[in-house]
Copies of this chain bind each other. A is one copy, B any other.
Amino acid sequence: MRSEVKALYVICDGMADRPVREFGMRTPLQVARTPNMNGLAKEGITGLVDPVAPGIPPGSDTANMALLGYDPYEHYTGRGGLEALGMGLELGPGDVAFRCNFATIDEHGIVLDRRAGRISTENAKVLAEAIRGALEKTSPELGVEVEFVPSIQHRAVLVLRGEGLSRAVSDTDPKEKGRPVKKCEPLNGTLEARRTADIVQRLSELFRTVLTEHPLNKKLVPPANAIILRGAGVVPSLKTLGELYGIRGVCISAVPLIKGVCRAAGMEIADVPGATGSYDTDLRAKFSHALEALRGGADLALVHVKATDLASHDHKADMKINMIERIDEALGEALSELDLSEETYVILTADHTTSLRTGKHEGDPVPVALAGPEVRRDGVETYDELSCAQGGLCRLRGKDLMPVLMNLLGKVERFGF
C-alpha cells in the first residue's frame, strides 16, 4: 500500500567537513568506518546538497528549515522565535523572542565570560526567578508583556509580547569575551524597531541590577551578573508539512532550535530520555523512538544528532570520527529493522559542513544518500563528500530534498495538467 510508505530522515549536524591535514587530506567521513552509511549509498541514490546556497555557511536554523523544504531566504525570521518555540513556549504572530546567555561582566561592562562559567541549571533557575519578580513590576511600565525563561546552564530565552514590536534590532552579545556588551540598536528606521531596541536596553539594565544585587551572585565565581542576548526573531508562518503533504511528522532532537524549526513545520516533538545534544547522547534511544513513531502511524521521523557539529566546533578530530562511527552503528541497528525494499525510505545527510580546522559552519555542500523501494540506484558505494559528488542526484538545494522525498512517498501534487 502506497499510503503506508514511511520515511526516516537522519540529519547529522555539521557532519560534513573539509579535508583534514592529519588525515592525509581526507575528511572525517572518509576516515571513519561507516559500513551502514556506505550500505545506504550502495542501495540508494546519492548526491550533494547545498543546504542554503553554494558557498553560503548556513545556520542550524536556516539549514534545517531548508532540509524540511522551506526556502530560508523566503521564510527565515530570526533565531529567537524558533528557539522559543523549541522550548515549548507559545508565541503570537508579532511577539519577538531572543536567545539569551547568563554572562559575567566587569564594572565597565566588558564581557569576561559569555557563559558565566557555564552556570548550573539550578543556579540559573534561582536567578531567573528574581528576574521574573522584577519583571512583574516593570512590564506594565514598558507597555509589553515580558517573559524570561531559563533552559539549560547559561541558556535562556526572552520573549516580548504585544503590539508594535520588531525583530529588526541588533544583538547585545558581543560574541567574544573581552569586548563590551553592545547597545541594542534599531536596524531600520521604523518606530517599532526603535521602541523594541529601547525596551531591550531598559531590560538589560534591569537584569544587570537585579543580578548584581542577588545574594547568590555574592557566592558564585564567576558571578552571573548580566544577560546578553542575540538573534531577535519572530515565529515564521509556515504551511505545515501536514498542510503541504498531508503527512504526520515527528522530530527527535535534543536541540531547542531544531525542535523549534520542526514545530514551526507542524511536526510533533518527541521527548527522548537520554538525548542530550552532546557526546554522551543515547543514539540507540533516539533511533528506537523514531522506529516506534513510524510504527505508531507517523509518516516521517526525523532524527537529528548534534554531537558531530560540537566535535568540529571543539576542534576534536578523533571525537568527530568516533561520533560518526557511533551514529553509523546506531543507524545500522535501525536499518536492520526496516524494510527498504517495500515500506521505508531512509535519507541521510548533514545540515551543513562544520570545519574541524576553522571550528565554524562552512558553505561547502553536504553528502546525501537516499534509499528505498523506488529509488534509482547509482553506482556510488561509499557515503562521503567526494563519492556522493558522483551520485545520481547530482547537486541539489536543501529545499529541494523534501519534495524529492515526499514525491517518493506519493505526497506531492502535480503542477499542471
Within residues 194 to 244 of chain A, which ones have a CB less than 8 A from any CB in chain B?
A: 231
Question: Do B407 and A377 have beta carbons less than 8 Å apart?
Answer: no
Contact partners of A60 in chain B: CB under 8 A: 416-417
Contact partners of A57 in chain B: CB under 8 A: 407, 412-415
**Known contacts A400-B55, A416-B52; A394/B395 CB under 8 A:** yes
Copies in the complex: 2
Interface size class on chain A is: 35 or more
Contact digits for A380-411, partner B, Cβ 8 Å, 1 yes 0 no = 00000110011111111000111111110010
> In the complex, A402→B55 CA distance in Å?
8
> In the complex, A86→B111 CA distance in Å?
49
> In the complex, A171→B389 CA distance in Å?
44
Contact partners of A58 in chain B: CB under 8 A: 414-416
Within residues 32 to 70 of chain A, which ones have a CB less than 8 A from any CB in chain B?
A: 48, 52-63
With both beta carbons as reference points, the residue of chain B lying nearest to A2 in the complex is identified as B358
The secondary structure that dominates the A interface is loop
> In the complex, A247→B392 CA distance in Å?
34
Contact partners of A393 in chain B: CB under 8 A: 389, 395
> Any chain B CB within 8 A of the CB of A13?
no
With both beta carbons as reference points, the residue of chain B lying nearest to A389 in the complex is identified as B392
> Any chain B CB within 8 A of the CB of A116?
no
Question: Do B374 and A378 have beta carbons less than 8 Å apart?
Answer: no
Question: Do A63 and B416 have beta carbons less than 8 Å apart?
Answer: yes
Contact partners of A395 in chain B: CB under 8 A: 393-396
> Any chain B CB within 8 A of the CB of A376?
yes
> Any chain B CB within 8 A of the CB of A325?
no
**Which of A89-97, A146-154, A268-276, A360-368 forms part of the interface with chain B?**
A360-368
- Contact residue among B363, B377, B407 (Cβ-Cβ distance under 8 Å from A362): B407
Question: Do B231 and A55 have beta carbons less than 8 Å apart?
Answer: no
Question: Do A407 and B59 have beta carbons less than 8 Å apart?
Answer: no
Which residues of A come within 8 Å of B, CB atoms? Answer: 2, 18-19, 25, 27, 48, 52-63, 72, 76, 79, 99, 231, 257, 355, 357-358, 360-364, 374-379, 385-386, 389-396, 400-407, 410, 412-417
20 contacts between A and B (CB under 8 A): A19-B374, A48-B392, A54-B400, A54-B404, A55-B400, A55-B412, A56-B407, A57-B414, A60-B416, A61-B416, A76-B415, A257-B417, A361-B414, A363-B403, A363-B407, A364-B407, A376-B386, A377-B386, A389-B393, A389-B394
